[in-house]
Structure 1
Amino acid sequence: MRFVFRYSFIFLLPFLLPTIGAAAWWTSVERPASWRSADWGSSGLLSKQRDKDQPTIYIMAARTGGFKGAFAVHSWIVIKREDQDGYDRYDKLGWGSPIRKNNYAADAYWYSNKPSIIAKITGEEAKRLIPKVENAISAYRYSNAGDYTIWPGPNSNTFVADVLRNVPELNASLPPNAVGKDYLGDDTWFMRTSNNSDTYINLGGYIGFAFGRTVGFELQFMGQTIGLDIQKPAIKLPAFGRLELSKDAAL
């Protein structure tokens, strides 16, 4: 029994320490008292991107509201076609019709938290992939009213992660604090991408691991992730997110 406790503690420690640290940091961050007083307007982030005349796909994320913002981000997908001046934004939300199109500005603050660009695909590659992304959005199986569970999933991050797994050519993965990204489904514990680049094994969003070219190596526990990104060098930390190891990592 002592043996089991000791090694369980060793396994949990890398998850607990960053999570406790993030909770302590979050208590010092000024944030709105409720969603009513939060800023949901455009952050101006996409106005700085030079994509006016070319098709583009963005994967974006921002910390969520309340105390859970210490541990989790909300993610969404943004698409711009070649002949389109504006953007189309796709989120999964926990109220009403889950998959929302253009419910907010493409680069809007989320609960007053500034978004970041997780991945950007432009030009001919984006033009080729936009139909595949839209098909994956349409085919998402948890897209009905009531198909939302904040934890362990399916939630907003489950939706985006599912699109990324079904369109592996996007070559992108969500940050380690995108709680719900590891949820594969109630009846699924194993998935390999169609191009065999990545393998995912997870039990109900509670515990699992993933490895491959895009995700690197991840250990997943209770919605949080610890791991290493080889392709875009970074350490993946629970609650905090990515610790970039390359100055060229930022978009």
Structure 2
Amino acid sequence: MTKYLGVVFMALLLSACSTNDNWRTASREPAGIAPSPSEEKAAVIEFYAADAFSWRGWFAVHTWVAIKEANAAEYTVYEVTGWRVRRGLPALSEYTTTTPDRYWFGAKPEKVLSIIGPKADELIPRIRDAVKRYPWADEYTVFPGPNSNTFPTWIGLQVPELNLDMPFSAIGSGYADND
């Protein structure tokens, strides 16, 4: 009985300390850390990480990739999410936006990588090609992967010139080595 008391206590503590209990009302506002496409005319590559939703953020991050070609008015964002698979959609999604640095359901993102200028110009076609070849585009498993952290890691392995260094809490990033 005593050994279960600790587990129950931890579960209650984690749920009580959660800062965002409702994903519907959690902030998705821009964080203001991405270069504005109207001001930055050069090509841009950005990789972001934000704490995972709710108590999971104590242990793990969600990561995504944003690219903007030179003179483009918007970024193209690529990310992998599990709820898309549960809805019968591919895990990998692509969309355009002027604000690729939105809060991840209440968690402020941080830049994992930022490349601006000629090097970004050179690498963007290779990133787009790697996205098309992502082997787990229709799959999602929290642990060990493939998940939201597997995807950017895989892109980094396909385009080693990015010198991508994923955060320690990017659980599932090691799954990218399984290709």
TM range (shorter): 0.7 to 0.9
- Larger mean Cα displacement after TM superposition, 102-111 or 87-96: 102-111
1:148 aligned partner, one-letter code: Y
List, as ranges, runs of 4+ consecutive aligned residues in structure 1 with deviation greater than 3 Å. 25-30, 47-51
CA contact (8 A) 1:51 1:122 kept: no
Structure 2 spans left out of the alignment, 5+ residues:
1-10
2:4 match: none
TM-score, L = length of structure 1: 0.59
Find the aligned partners of 1:117 and 1:49 in 2 and give their Cα distance: 17
Structure 1: runs of 5 or more not aligned: 1-22, 192-251
Q: Please give the alpha-carbon distance, in whole angstroms, between the structure 2 residues aligned to 1:123 and 1:103.
A: 20
1:74 partner SS: strand
Cα deviation, residue 51, structure 1: 6.4
Residue 126, structure 1, aligned to residue 120, structure 2: yes
Residues 9-45 of structure 1: CA deviation (Å, up to 9, x unaligned): xxxxxxxxxxxxxx9x977866121211211222222
- Report 1:1-251 matches (<5 A): 31-47=19-35, 52-94=40-82, 95=84, 96-102=89-95, 105-144=99-138, 147-184=139-176, 188=178
Task: Name the count of aligned residue pairs.
Answer: 162
Cα contact 1:52–1:85 (8 A) shared by 2: no
- Alignment check: 8 A CA contact 2:42 2:116 kept: yes
| Larger RCO of the pair (alpha carbons < 8 Å, separation 6+) | 2
Q: For 1:100 and 1:48, how far apart are their aligned partners in 2? A: 22
**Could you tell me how far apart the structure 2 residues matched to 1:127 and 1:171 are?**
16
Amino-acid identity (%): 31
Q: Match for 2:171: what amino acid? A: V
Match of 2:8 in 1: none
RMSD over aligned Cα atoms: 2.6
